[in-house]
């Protein structure tokens, strides 16, 4: 059961990573980041079956932080859209050196 | 001043304790005071001059003067008295400048009197004022030392110095830089006194460097003429080479003997191996210092150029006092030199070669001061022969008499130049006031100078009973005696037996004496005898200098005439025999005896008479040659003179030594400095590689960093992921 769960978690994580690396829409990238977080949550839950309940406690922490992060992140994206009229990250390079 | 009065440790038991010698510190401080006052007057006066600067009005008043000056060219040429605008503080300077020296001389005379009456004094009287340097094992006190040798120098420096200061009042009064001149002159005397009174090598070295500085300042006194400024630089730079030797010698002394104090060194030196490599090296490095300061081969080239300074400066610094510092240094270091026959022979050989070499150049110079300059180099060579063969008393004796007659010769030439310059000034002529071809027949116009200059000429030529006869004879006799029996005669120099070297020195000395008589008589004939060549208009303005200038001349004339009585030889006992020799015995006696196998040298009276007869005959022949061969009637003024031919031309151009040095040393140095040090190392390496290179490196690195900062979040994410993969890979693969 553990192996399957971890495999599934890894697949989800890789999908998230590939999404972050390949997509340009900020909202989709944001969703891919969420996907990576939830893949990690899945791994925590799976490990909790073996190593004790601490993994499940961590999952709650992660979910709380992810919620806060979603609020701040979406707010930034909205502010960015108001400023640039786009959410395409290739057209946003304000920190170019 | 307060520090000076703190006598930390006075030898309370010394016979001189509690006498006027306690006031020894005042002797150098007086000229220092004069320097401060005159320097303040100079600075204060200059600040107020502004647009009314006399040198500015002068150019306007004499149109065409500058172009004439440029036309003269030639190093060493200058015109004294450029303007007649007197400095506003000239009167104060005239009082302060010479009087500090007169008071210093009177104080020295009182100290001398006390010293004489204190009976036999064997230990030096040392006054320590404060600790100057204290690091590790090295402790240097600011201390003055009074012994028989420094007392002789003290009297010469302050006495002759005072006379020359008085002469300067007449000679320099109308110069716009008058207070500055006296400030430098006073400062020079201060440093010179420090040099002769210093109780250890470092204090002496401070004086040594200080007189070099003042020499530089005074040679370039009329610095607006580039030739004068260059002459000052040349003197300074050439002297640095010698000072390097002095410094190395001091380092070696401290490293091996652990002290630099004269009295401690004298005792410590007894432990050194006689004739050893160490003491020889120390002595040779010290002598390198002497060749610089005292203008010996190979570093003599600065002294003739130093004639660019005012004539009293030439008399004081470049004839009577500073240039004799090297002789003093060797006499002071006699406890070292007597241990090293090789170094002593080197001193004697270099001295003898310099004496004859400079004398030949002096035969063909036209500038009256150049003749005297080469004569000074030559006579300094004599002194080095004396101290080289271990006749330290004879060397110092010649130093003293030379100070008398050479100061007189220079001041006399100054008086001549002054007269000619004044005449040229009246007639607005711009001829060379120092060229002997423009003089002639001056005895009718300047009788006092004429007579006194002849006294000095006879003295330097070695005609009895004038001063130079006794001192020169003493040196030649000492060389002859030591060639027969001494540690020097037993040693070998570059594979040549010492006694042969010394006999050669004796013969060379005689040859130099012959030429001295010839060129000095030549100078007198061309200057004072024969027809007058100054020109019709100028002739009416020729006159004797004022009393303030002739007075010191008379005093020096008397000293030049009777100076030999200081140290009469045994066979001519007209008074106390060998006073100076006996006087110096506590200082140099041990070293002298060491060279002569522990007992005084004895020459049979018949041999002695023969030597003296030969010397006198040579002087007489020299004077006779000059009178019979030279035709002042045939001379023409400088502007119409034909160039010389053959060997005479070589002599007139001083054997082309300056040109040779220029080609071998100066130009390669310039080329190296310009191409390697400047363009290669400074511009290429330091500026190019180091300074600009580091800037280029930082800029390139920054460009790389800025290229990474694309602002594209995707790129950052890729880099992040690749980094994570790399770390994970590294950790798992191991």
Task: Judge: B711–A95 Cβ closer than 8 Å, yes or no.
Answer: yes
Of A17, A89, A97, the CB nearest to B713: A89
Q: Give the total number of structural domains in chain A.
A: 1
Q: Do the domain assignments include residue A59?
A: yes
Most distant CA pair in chain A, distance: 49
Task: Judge: A96–B705 Cβ closer than 8 Å, yes or no.
Answer: no
d(CA B114, CA B106): 12
Q: Using DSSP, state whether B177 is helix, strand or coil.
A: coil
Residue A90 confidence class, pLDDT cut points 50, 70, 90: confident
Positive/negative CA dihedral, B159, B161, B166, B170: positive
Q: Do the domain assignments include residue A43?
A: yes
Chain B interface, best mutation among A10, A13, A19, A20, by max B CB count within 10 A: A20
**Cis check: omega of the bond before B298, within 30 degrees of 0:** yes
The verdict on A77 touching B (C-beta cutoff 8 Å) is no
The verdict on B704 touching A (C-beta cutoff 8 Å) is no
CB B474 within 8 A of CB B462: no
Of A17, A94, A97, the CB nearest to B721: A17
Shortest distance between the Cα of B707 and any Cα of chain A, in A, equals 7
Low-confidence ranges of chain B (pLDDT < 70): 1-12, 46-84
Tell me, what DSSP letter sits at residue B123? Answer: S
Shortest distance between the Cα of A58 and any Cα of chain B, in A, equals 23
Q: What would the pLDDT profile of B175-231 be if each residue is shown by its tens digit? A: 888 999 999 999 999 999 999 999 999 999 999 999 999 999 999 999 999 999 999
Shortest distance between the Cα of A6 and any Cα of chain B, in A, equals 17
Chain B residues with CB-CB distance to A24 below 8 A? 714
CA distances to B305, B354, B375 from B185, in Å: 19, 28, 23
CB B145 within 8 A of CB B126: yes
The token duo for B149 is 């040798």
d(CA B565, CA B575): 7
Of B709, B712, B718, the CB nearest to A90: B712
Task: Judge: B710–A17 Cβ closer than 8 Å, yes or no.
Answer: no
Neighbours of A62 (CB within 10 A): 16
Of B709, B717, B718, the CB nearest to A95: B709
Q: Using DSSP, state whether B130 is helix, strand or coil.
A: strand
Q: Using DSSP, state whether B141 is helix, strand or coil.
A: strand
Q: In chain A, which residue's Cα lies nearest the Cα of B720?
A: A21
The verdict on B728 touching A (C-beta cutoff 8 Å) is no
Q: Do the domain assignments include residue A97?
A: no
Q: What would the pLDDT profile of B615-671 be if each residue is shown by its tens digit? A: 999 999 999 999 998 887 877 777 777 777 788 888 888 888 889 998 998 899 999
The residue among B335, B274, B391, B260 whose CA lies nearest residue B587 is B335
Task: Judge: A97–B712 Cβ closer than 8 Å, yes or no.
Answer: no
Q: Do the domain assignments include residue A77?
A: yes
Task: Judge: B712–A93 Cβ closer than 8 Å, yes or no.
Answer: yes
d(CA B721, CA B152): 93
Q: Do the domain assignments include residue A82?
A: yes
φ/ψ of B216, rounded to 5, equals: -60, -45
Q: How many CB pairs under 8 A join A and B?
A: 31
d(CA B598, CA B591): 9
Angle at B93 between CA B92 and CA B96, to 5 degrees: 85
Shortest distance between the Cα of A90 and any Cα of chain B, in A, equals 6
Q: Using DSSP, state whether B155 is helix, strand or coil.
A: helix
Q: In chain A, which residue's Cα lies nearest the Cα of B704?
A: A97
Burial per residue of B603-632, b for 16 or more beta-carbon CB atoms within 10 angstroms, e otherwise: beeeebeebbebbbebbeebbebbeeebeb
Query: How many C-alpha atoms does A47 have within 13 Å on its Cβ side?
Result: 14
Q: Using DSSP, state whether B274 is helix, strand or coil.
A: coil
Shortest distance between the Cα of B134 and any Cα of chain A, in A, equals 59
- For residue A22, the domain's CATH number is 1.10.287.3510
Q: Residue B467: CB partners within 8 Å, gap ≥ 6?
A: B401, B404, B405, B459, B559, B560, B561, B562, B563, B564
Shortest distance between the Cα of B722 and any Cα of chain A, in A, equals 11
Q: What is the end-to-end Cα distance of chain A in Å, rounded? A: 49
Q: Do the domain assignments include residue A16?
A: yes
Helix axes B148-172, B579-595, angle to 10 degrees: 130
Burial per residue of B489-504, b for 16 or more beta-carbon CB atoms within 10 angstroms, e otherwise: bebebeeeebbebbbb
The residue among B131, B149, B242 whose CA lies nearest residue B196 is B149
CB B408 within 8 A of CB B312: no
In terms of Cβ atoms closer than 10 Å to its own Cβ (0-12, 13-18, 19+), residue A31 is: middle
CA distances to A74, B77, B469, B475, B605 from B610, in Å: 123, 44, 15, 15, 9
The reported pLDDT for the residue numbered B84 is: 59
Element counts in chain A: helices (H) and strands (E): 3, 0
CB B27 within 8 A of CB B197: yes
Task: Judge: B711–A96 Cβ closer than 8 Å, yes or no.
Answer: yes
The verdict on A85 touching B (C-beta cutoff 8 Å) is no
d(CA A37, CA A59): 10
Shortest distance between the Cα of A9 and any Cα of chain B, in A, equals 17
Q: Do the domain assignments include residue A96?
A: no
Q: In chain B, which residue's Cα lies nearest the Cα of A33?
A: B717
Chain B residues with CB-CB distance to A95 below 8 A? 709, 711
The verdict on B703 touching A (C-beta cutoff 8 Å) is no
CB B175 within 8 A of CB B184: no
Task: Judge: B710–A93 Cβ closer than 8 Å, yes or no.
Answer: yes
Of B710, B714, B717, the CB nearest to A96: B710
Q: In chain A, which residue's Cα lies nearest the Cα of B719?
A: A21
d(CA B160, CA B193): 13
Percent of chain B at pLDDT exceeding 90: 59
The verdict on A89 touching B (C-beta cutoff 8 Å) is yes
In terms of Cβ atoms closer than 10 Å to its own Cβ (0-12, 13-18, 19+), residue A68 is: exposed
The token duo for B260 is 């630099």
Rg of the Cα atoms in chain A: 16
Task: Judge: A95–B705 Cβ closer than 8 Å, yes or no.
Answer: no
Q: What would the pLDDT profile of A22-48 be if each residue is shown by its tens digit? A: 998 999 999 999 999 999 999 999 999
Task: Judge: A97–B707 Cβ closer than 8 Å, yes or no.
Answer: yes
CA distances to B70, B191, B484 from B210, in Å: 32, 5, 41
Chain B interface, best mutation among A14, A19, A21, by max B CB count within 10 A: A21
Question: Looking at the DSSP assignment, which residues form a beta bridge with residue B99?
Answer: none
The separation between CA B186 and the C-alpha centre of its own chain, rounded to angstroms, equals 16
Tell me, what DSSP letter sits at residue B598? Answer: T
Three-state SS sequence of A35-50: HHHHHHHHHHHHHHHH
* Owning domain of residue A65: 2-91
CB A38 within 8 A of CB A24: no
d(CA B414, CA B20): 36
Question: Looking at the DSSP assignment, which residues form a beta bridge with residue B261?
Answer: B200
Rounded to 10 degrees, the C-alpha dihedral B572/B575/B577/B581 comes to -120
Query: What is the pTM (predicted TM-score) of this model?
Result: 0.81
Q: Residue B446: CB partners within 8 Å, gap ≥ 6?
A: B415, B416, B419, B528, B542, B543, B544, B545
DSSP string, B467-491: HHHHHHHHHHHHHHHHHHSSHHHHS
The residue among B370, B516, B530 whose CA lies nearest residue B450 is B530
What ipTM, to 2 d.p.? 0.87
Q: Strand B492-493 relative to strand B138-146: parallel, antiparallel, unpaired?
A: unpaired
The reported pLDDT for the residue numbered B136 is: 86
Task: Judge: B709–A97 Cβ closer than 8 Å, yes or no.
Answer: yes
Shortest distance between the Cα of B690 and any Cα of chain A, in A, equals 27
The verdict on B701 touching A (C-beta cutoff 8 Å) is no
Q: In chain B, which residue's Cα lies nearest the Cα of A24?
A: B714
Q: Residue B391: CB partners within 8 Å, gap ≥ 6?
A: B474, B475, B478, B479, B482, B592
Alpha-helical (H) ranges within B485-604 are 487-490, 498-528, 536-539, 547-562, 579-595
Of B709, B710, B717, the CB nearest to A21: B717
The verdict on A95 touching B (C-beta cutoff 8 Å) is yes
Instruction: Label residue B441 left, alpha or beta by phi (over 0 means left) and psi (-120 to 50 means alpha).
Output: left
**Hunting for tokens 């008397």 — which residue is that?**
B558
d(CA B557, CA B576): 22
CB B529 within 8 A of CB B395: no
The token duo for B496 is 């040549």
Q: Do the domain assignments include residue A50?
A: yes
Q: In chain B, which residue's Cα lies nearest the Cα of A17?
A: B721
Chain B residues with CB-CB distance to A20 below 8 A? 717
The verdict on A92 touching B (C-beta cutoff 8 Å) is yes
Chain B residues with CB-CB distance to A76 below 8 A? none
CB B90 within 8 A of CB B178: yes
């Amino acid at each position: 059961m553990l192996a399957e769960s971890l495999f599934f978690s890894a697949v989800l994580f890789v999908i998230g990573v590939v999404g972050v690396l390949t997509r340009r829409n900020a909202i989709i990238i944001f969703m891919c980041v969420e996907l990576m977080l939830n893949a990690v949550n899945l791994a925590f839950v799976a490990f909790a079956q073996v190593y004790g309940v601490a993994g499940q406690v961590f999952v709650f922490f992660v979910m709380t932080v992810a919620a806060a992060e979603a609020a701040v992140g979406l707010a930034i994206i909205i502010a960015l859209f108001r400023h640039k009229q786009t959410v395409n990250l290739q057209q946003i390079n304000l920190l170019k050196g | 001043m307060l520090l000076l009065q703190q006598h930390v440790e006075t030898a309370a038991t010394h016979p001189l304790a509690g006498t006027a010698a306690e006031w020894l510190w005042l002797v150098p401080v007086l000229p220092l005071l004069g320097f401060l006052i005159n320097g303040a007057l100079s600075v204060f006066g200059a600040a107020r001059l502004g647009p009314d600067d006399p040198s500015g009005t002068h150019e306007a008043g004499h149109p065409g003067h500058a172009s004439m000056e440029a036309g003269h060219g030639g190093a060493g040429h200058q015109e004294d008295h450029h303007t007649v605008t007197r400095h506003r503080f000239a009167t104060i300077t005239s009082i302060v400048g010479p009087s500090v020296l007169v008071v210093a001389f009177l104080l020295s005379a009182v100290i001398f009197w006390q010293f004489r009456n204190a009976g036999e004094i064997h230990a030096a009287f040392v006054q320590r004022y404060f600790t100057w340097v204290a690091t590790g094992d090295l402790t240097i006190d600011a201390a003055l030392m009074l012994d028989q040798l420094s007392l002789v120098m003290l009297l010469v420096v302050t006495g002759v110095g005072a006379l020359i200061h008085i002469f300067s009042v007449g000679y320099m009064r109308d110069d716009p830089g008058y207070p500055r001149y006296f400030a430098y002159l006073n400062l020079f005397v201060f440093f010179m006194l420090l040099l002769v009174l210093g109780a250890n090598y470092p204090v002496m070295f401070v004086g040594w460097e200080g007189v070099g500085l003042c020499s530089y300042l005074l040679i370039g006194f009329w610095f607006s003429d580039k030739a004068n400024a260059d002459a000052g630089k040349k003197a300074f730079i050439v002297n640095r080479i010698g000072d390097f030797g002095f410094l190395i010698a001091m380092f070696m002394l401290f490293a091996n003997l652990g002290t630099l104090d004269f009295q401690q060194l004298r005792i410590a030196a007894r432990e050194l191996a006689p004739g050893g490599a160490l003491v020889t090296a120390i002595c040779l490095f010290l002598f390198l210092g002497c060749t610089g300061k005292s203008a010996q081969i190979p570093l003599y080239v600065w002294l003739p150029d130093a004639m660019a300074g005012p004539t009293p400066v030439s008399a004081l610094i470049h004839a009577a006092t500073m240039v004799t510092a090297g002789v003093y240094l060797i006499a002071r270091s006699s406890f070292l030199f007597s241990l090293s026959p090789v170094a002593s022979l080197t001193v004697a050989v270099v001295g003898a070669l310099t004496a004859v070499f400079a004398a030949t150049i002096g035969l063909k110079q036209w500038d009256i001061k150049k003749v005297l300059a080469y004569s000074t180099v030559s006579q300094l060579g004599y002194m080095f022969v004396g101290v080289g063969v271990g006749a330290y008393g004879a060397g110092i004796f010649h130093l003293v008499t030379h100070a008398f007659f050479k100061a007189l010769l220079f001041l006399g030439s100054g008086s001549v130049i002054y007269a000619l310059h004044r005449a040229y000034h009246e007639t607005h002529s711009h001829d060379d006031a120092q060229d002997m071809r423009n003089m002639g027949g001056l005895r009718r116009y300047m009788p006092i100078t004429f007579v006194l200059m002849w006294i000095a000429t006879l003295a330097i030529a070695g005609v009895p009973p004038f001063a130079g006869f006794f001192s020169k004879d003493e040196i030649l006799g000492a060389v002859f005696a030591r060639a027969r029996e001494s540690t020097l005669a037993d040693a070998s120099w570059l594979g040549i037996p010492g006694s042969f070297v010394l006999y050669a020195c004796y013969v060379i000395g005689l040859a130099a004496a012959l030429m001295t008589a010839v060129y000095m008589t030549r100078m007198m004939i061309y200057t004072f005898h024969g027809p007058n060549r100054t020109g019709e208009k100028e002739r009416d303005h020729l006159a004797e200098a004022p009393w303030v200038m002739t007075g010191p001349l008379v005093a020096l004339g008397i000293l030049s005439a009777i100076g030999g009585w200081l140290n009469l030889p045994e066979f001519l006992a007209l008074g106390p025999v060998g006073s100076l020799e006996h006087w110096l015995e506590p200082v140099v006696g041990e070293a002298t005896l060491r060279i002569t196998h522990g007992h005084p040298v004895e020459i049979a009276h018949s041999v002695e008479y023969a030597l003296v007869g030969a010397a006198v005959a040579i002087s007489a022949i020299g004077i006779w040659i000059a009178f019979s061969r030279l035709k002042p009637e045939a001379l023409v003024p400088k502007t119409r003179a034909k160039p010389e031919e053959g060997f005479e031309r070589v002599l007139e151009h001083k054997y082309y030594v300056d040109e040779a040095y220029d080609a071998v040393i100066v130009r390669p140095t310039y080329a190296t400095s310009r191409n390697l040090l400047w363009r290669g190392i400074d511009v290429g390496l330091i500026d190019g590689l180091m300074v600009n290179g580091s800037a280029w490196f930082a800029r390139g690195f920054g460009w790389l960093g800025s290229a990474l900062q694309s602002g594209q979040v995707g790129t950052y994410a890729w880099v992040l992921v690749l980094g994570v993969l790399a770390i994970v890979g590294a950790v798992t693969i191991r």
